[in-house]
Amino acid sequence: MTESNPLVFPEDFLWGSATAAYQIEGAAREDGRTPSIWDTFSHTPGKVLAGDTGDVACDHYHRWREDIDLMAGLNLQAYRFSVSWSRVQPTGRGPAVQRGLDFYRQLADGLLERGIMPAVTLYHWDLPQELEDAGGWPERDTAKRFADYARLVGEALGDRVSMWITLNEPWCSAFLGYGSGVHAPGRTEPEAVLRSAHHLNLGHGLGVQALREVLPRDAQVAITLNPAAVRPKTQSPEDVDAQRRVDALQNRIWSGPILHGRYPADLIADTSRVSDWSFVKDGDEATIRQPLDYLGINYYSPTIVSASTPGSSNARNDGHGASDHSPWVAAEDIEFHQAPGPQTEMGWSIDPTGMTDLLMRFHNEAPGLPLYVTENGAAFDDKPDADGSVHDPDRIAYLHGHLAAVHSAIEQGADVRGYFLWSLLDNFEWAYGYSKRFGITHVDFDTQARTPKDSAKWYARVIASGELPPLP
């Protein structure tokens, strides 16, 4: 960036950070918690790099007070965390375990005492294993179980928490969990992907209804999506059509029913050889289209696609992990490309313009619906210096570019109300185990020592001023 003056954010802009239960909590077998699909997946040989698991992770279950002190020291105004379904409803059915709910009650109370708004995500990919054993998200009953779970948590935390998210990135749950198999539960069944997507959508709709029944009227309820900023490699008709197909599979399969009450006709036509979509029952799409108070947007990197080219190895460079099975149902022929230029440790291209594009897209698609960036961040190979400091200038540059992109969307009229940086802590990065560090706080996984990186100190200054200064 070359601007010489700071970019000033709205005075009421909400500055936060985010985590997810399985990635940080640990205490996998304590206080009644039972296995989730990620416990099972991570304990299955060959599924997670180096055999890593979330059994201990960042030990946040025991160190939450220390972590709240850390947040307060970084000037965080909000903290987005997810609830472990297995911790509060171990079988995915029946009454809640109060010991599990007590953890989240204490966490929310501790945040409020320090002036930090708790923002709850009900589902960040950790389905109770018993529900997966009964069929998982491809089964309609799972959507009903999710609504029951949402009601239990809403009843327990509704007096403390005003900001709610039903699902985090349902695309990953459906397409990576049941398509490519690189996420739990590790299934590779194309038709199950579409069934799962619908039942995640339905679970969201039923979950919103359940929350509305038990939460105060001023509670804010939403969903978080990870829409792709899909771009064709060239402007050829074939590449533009590849863009359309991927846009349907990652974006409009969610925004269609959630925002407009219907699945896109081209999505159903594109996938007709995989499914007849008979799992969509009368009234489902109306149930999915619940009034929302805001929409959460997660963004990391753009997606560049093309039609298949003769002689190509058709390598799937989509950034979602290596697998012999494609998550792209009925679009296995589409090629994915990395943009030239710098990349993060994940191999993801660094391009903040995708952030602005997505925020403007949803601003135009759903006028009047406030937006929050609920995740944005980058993994880099951070190591402490001899004096224990962690210098991460690449992350600061990444965050600076993307916050400038958020500011650009606001200047163009988008109603963006806040930004949650991913992530507060280095953590268990799913199938990559502990090999990728997204945190603005370094975690020594042997000692659990927390060390704020330079990026954390930089972010704290941005929050304190409400301004994005020029990069040095």
Of the residues 25, 139, 285, 375, which is catalytic?
375
Helical packing angle, 393-411 and 454-465, nearest 10°: 30
Residue 174 contacts residue 230 (beta carbons within 8 Å): no
Q: Is 339 exposed, middle or buried (0-12, 13-18, 19+ CB in 10 A)?
A: middle
Query: How is residue 302 written in tokens?
Result: 């753009």
Is 109 within 8 Å of 165 (Cβ atoms)?
A: no
Look at residues 286, 289, 238, 243 and name the one whose alpha carbon lies nearest to residue 266: 243
Active site residue 285: no
Closest CA to 141 of 281, 250, 24: 281
CA distance 398 to 27: 33
375 belongs to the catalytic site: yes
Closest by Cα among 38, 72, 70, 71 to 55 = 38
Q: Which of 139, 169, 285, 345 is catalytic?
A: 169
Burial 8-42 (b: 16+ CB within 10 A, else e): ebeeebbbbbbbbbbbbbbbbeeeebbbbbbbbbb
DSSP letter at 260 equals I
Active site residues: 169, 375
